[in-house]
Structure 1
């Protein structure tokens, strides 16, 4: 893995830094990413992979690069974590029928309160929006949620 600075922007007393990240694997596969480190934490802006990454691997990418990225930018993880607030590990979420049942429960509870149901599932599972939408679709397919569109 190699990490190198791309550019940095200083604004309103804060610093946002972009880094080029490259991962090369022994089987010839590789990932090139543009990662951003700011007071709010680490995010990935652009990813190019050969072969293409699965959605699960893409969700794990930030975890793969976090340590080397912090070392390269010279900021200890504590500094960025303190600025971003407390970081929580992803909560354990059951797989299979039980997981789909819990997704449906969170979704319906948010709807009943007038909140964004997708955001509620994201918060409950700790997954990204895309992964949460996939979990919601699985709950719909299992008949635990009403169909999204009425079919004629």
Structure 2
């Protein structure tokens, strides 16, 4: 994880500072964020991630960057105040992954088919459901769906002539 100052604007009552935050996970996932510190509060202004973050990952992004960002700003972290709460939630100080790894091969294709059919049954967009489940882009998710069709887990997408 890296935190570096981007720029700072001095105002009459204080200063507003922007920081570039970079996270690289062991599975190759990367998150770059632009955080703003003003009046003792930290806000995330921009986030870029490869592969895309799921909503669950986005909600814990603040937890991932809070402590290093607060150290760079010279502020106290909320994590320092409540160490017992993190332990009760099952979080530890160890490395975190952006998302659990998606199984490869036949098991992954079967899981893609399950996600696809569950979304269809709920009246949701099945491609979007696969994207959210795998964390892959639309193009890669469509490729996984095609592989699940080829493996026989899904019906053909269109009638053959």
Using structure 2 for the length normalisation, give the TM-score: 0.43
Using structure 1 for the length normalisation, give the TM-score: 0.45
